[in-house]
Amino acid sequence: MPPAHALPAHPEETQAFVWTPEALTDIYREGLNLCVWRRGFDAPLTHWLNEVTATHALNVIARVRGDAPDLRPRLEGLPQGPLFEAWLAGVHFLARLYADLFGAAELGVRLQILGEDICPSFHVDRVGVRLLCTYAGPPTEWLENAHVLRGARGPTARPGAPVRALERFDVALLKGESWPDNRGNGAVHRSPAIAGSGRRRLFLSIEAL
């Protein structure tokens, strides 16, 4: 369940990396706009997901119940077996985790394999919080607040600013502009440039509806 009130953050702290799903409640800290659960890799599952991403198509855009998500009927075209079951259980876990964290009854879920750029420019989301996880291919890129120039036409990186990237299997919660009292502090991020490179990526996005 979400905390009853926002917790104060260190004045310079706008992102946090945590090591357990329970610690994702740090996203409620005032001023924090990015919280990442760094899960690490599972070698057999990583190999399976790489193969699936290279050889299959996937474009799931679904509305699901937060307490009982069921994406199985939409994934029948993927290779079945123990690794599929482990991955699907993990996706469903993340959906329930998001619903519990934010008290969301319905969720919008995107689960896609892409070989093109979808959001190549730095931007902020017009939502409360979005969950992102890249399972295969290049992960989402982001900027620390100190390296962002925010203007009427959207955010840009300061000259020479370092661009940071999540890792595969990271579970990232990104506050958007619609989070209470977060206008002008949305997490600035973009999808990696892959168009024309032959690379593909499998990613998950979850938000409250």
pLDDT digits (tens, 9 = 90+) for 140-153: 999 999 999 998 88
Strands 15-18 and 34-37: parallel
For residue 71, which of 91, 52, 56 has the smallest C-alpha distance?
91
What pLDDT does 10 receive? 47
d(CA 122, CA 112): 20
Question: Where in the chain are the domains?
Answer: 15-208
pLDDT score for 163: 96
The helix/strand/coil state of 29 is strand
pLDDT at 120: 84
pLDDT value at residue 4: 42
pLDDT digits (tens, 9 = 90+) for 36-50: 999 988 899 999 999
pLDDT of residue 197: 86
- Main-chain dihedrals φ then ψ at residue 172, nearest 5 degrees: -110, 130
- How high is the pLDDT of residue 12? 62
88: nearest Cα among 74, 102, 67? 74
- For the record, the structure tokens of 201 come out as 């990526």
Ordered per-residue pLDDT tens for the chain, 209 residues: 455 444 444 446 899 999 999 999 999 999 999 999 999 888 999 999 999 999 999 999 999 999 999 999 999 999 999 999 999 999 999 999 999 999 999 999 999 999 988 878 999 999 999 999 999 999 999 999 999 999 888 899 999 999 999 999 999 999 999 999 999 999 999 999 888 888 999 999 999 99
Yes or no: say if 170 and 134 are a contact pair by the CB < 8 Å rule. Answer: yes
Q: Which of 29, 5, 3 is nearest to 16 (CA)?
A: 29
Q: What is the pLDDT of residue 6?
A: 47
| Sign of the alpha-carbon torsion through 206, 207, 208, 209 | negative
CA distance 130 to 92: 16
Q: Specify which residues 130 forms β-bridges with.
A: 174, 207
pLDDT reported for residue 2: 53
Question: Which residue is associated with the tokens 């996706």?
Answer: 91
Q: Position 205: which residue type?
A: S
Instruction: For residue 112, give the H/E element and its range.
Output: strand 106-114
**b/e burial code for range 39-52 (CB count within 10 A of at least 16 → b):** beeeeebeebbbeb
Question: 15-208 has which CATH code?
Answer: 2.60.120
Report the pLDDT value the prediction gives residue 13, as an integer from 0 to 100. Answer: 80
H/E stretch holding 102 reads helix 82-102
> pTM to 2 decimals?
0.93
